[in-house]
Structures are given as structure tokens and as C-alpha cells.
Amino acid sequence: MAFDSVRRVLTFIRFSHTVFALPFALGSMVVAAKGFPPLWICGWILVAMAAARTAAMSFNRLADWQMDQRNPRTEGRHRLISHSGAVALCAASSALFIFAAWALNPLCFALSPVALAIVFFYSLTKRFTSLCHFFLGLALAVSPVGAWLAVTGQFALAPLVLAAGVVFWVAGFDVIYATQDFEFDRREGWHSLVVHLGIPRSLQLAQALHVVMALLLVGFGLAAGLGKIYFASLVLVLGALIYEHRVARRLDLDAINAAFFTSNAFVGLVFVAATWADTFPMPYLATIFRL
């Protein structure tokens, strides 16, 4: 019974999609620390990430509770957990996030309500602006900046450039993802760039957004002083994005779903692997892998 409850919660918040934001937080963390920070910092960063995402997804489900029941793609979500259970989950995870921020440093604690406001606000934007995809990007972009602040306690150029890259990356793949709901969103009056521009022009825009994202990843590497491994890895990132856009052009919804998860998870994993490889001394990495 307990296992089934956990499974329902994890499905409710789409826990598998954590692989999108987490690698950028972990990459930012090791670059900020110029190595591996103390384990207690790593632990609280992971707690903060998990709590913030759980709070954001719970709030999203609550905000769209009635609408999700009318959408064929999302109609089963409300059966996974009760409305009161979702409220409790959102409140508890928000409190845990603030506590984790307090445990990290005073700046993280002071900014924790701002971070929650950003990740909650996205769920409301689709009601009034077609730029909602960029607000989703901003919500995920909080993670690399937060990880940097957790390690250093101060702002810097590199994580801000990386955050901008995350905004364009997420906006691009969310535009692709939104093609699945084109008819429903248009009928219900939801705002999205897909509804505003139509599917063909939206897919062209998504390509342009990912080109900007690739340029910003180059900018992050320069600002962070990363080396050859990181810059070489961007070829793999670009290849994954090209694959995603080729699949999207076919407008096969099942294929888009598969490419969406696979390509973007691959982008995140390549990013974190490359930043770690360029940050850690090779003998240190060899010791980790032996363990």
C-alpha cells in the first residue's frame, strides 16, 4: 500500500522529468565549487531541488485541476491523488524547500520565497500570455543559479548565462510538447505559441530558440573557464536537439513524446558529464569510478 502511494505521488508530479533540471544544477554546483563541495551542501541542494520541483508540480496540478479533467492527455491525473492530498503535498514540499535553503546559507534562505513564486507563477501564465513557455524555462532556470548560490553565497556571470540557456532550451522543447494539445488549447482558450502561431511556425521558432540555447552554452563555457571536453560535448547536445526537431516535424504524437524525453534527458546528462569531466582532475574521477 505504501509503495503504491509513493508510486502515485511520483507519477502525479512526473518525477521522471527531474532529469531535465537536475543536471544543470549539478553542473553549476561543481563549477562553482571548482570540484566537489562538502557532502552536506550536495545533500541540501538535492533536497531543495526535489522539494521545489514537487511543490511546483503540485501547484501546477492544483491550478489546472478542472482543466486537466477535460483534456484527454491529462484526464487521469486527478485520480492519482486527492485534491486535499495535492494541497498537503504542495505545502509540505514548499516548507521543506525553505528549510533546505535556510540550511544552505542566508542568501538562499532570503531568496527562497522568490524562487517559489517563480516556479508557481508559471502555472498561471498560460491563462493570459502565449509566452508561457518562457516562464516554464524561467522556473527551471532557477536551479543552476540556486546551486551556484548554495556553494558560493554570491551571484556571478556564469550561472546567469547558463540560466538564460536553460530558459531558451526549455521554451523550445515546451513549444514542441505543446503541439500535442493544439486542438484542446485552441478550443478551451488556453494561450500558447502553438495556438498563436500555428504548428509549422511554432516548430520553426523552437529551432531558433535551441540555436540561441546552444550559443548560450558556449557562453557559459567561456564564462566558467571550461575546457576542451565541455566544448566538444556541445556537438552531442546539438545532435540530440536536431534529432528532436526532425521527429517533431513528423507530427507523430507518440514519437514526439519519446523524442521529447530521450533527447532532453540526453542533453542534461551530456552537460553534467562534460562539466564534471572538465572540472575534476582526471585521477580524482578515476577514484570515483573505482568506488
Query: Consecutive 10-residue runs of the chain (291 residues): their mean pLDDT?
Result: 61 64 93 92 95 91 78 65 87 97 97 96 92 95 97 97 97 91 84 91 95 98 94 95 88 71 89 89 48 42
Q: What does the pLDDT read at residue 133? A: 96
Q: What does the pLDDT read at residue 222? A: 97
Q: What does the pLDDT read at residue 74? A: 63
Q: How many other C-beta atoms can be found within 10 angstroms of the C-beta atom of residue 227?
A: 13
Residue 72 lies in a domain: no
Q: What does the pLDDT read at residue 289? A: 43
Q: Structural domain of residue 32, as residue ranges?
A: 19-37+106-290
Total number of domains constituting the chain: 1
Check which CATH number belongs to the domain holding 185 and give it: 1.20.120.1780
Residue 76 lies in a domain: no
Q: What does the pLDDT read at residue 283? A: 44
Q: What does the pLDDT read at residue 291? A: 42
Q: What does the pLDDT read at residue 13? A: 61
Angle, in degrees to the nearest 10, between helices 18-33 and 39-63: 150
Q: What does the pLDDT read at residue 10? A: 58
Residue 258 lies in a domain: yes
Q: What does the pLDDT read at residue 137? A: 96
Which cell is 272 given?
553534467
Residue 194 lies in a domain: yes
CA 145/CA 101 separation, integer angstroms: 13
Residue 210 lies in a domain: yes
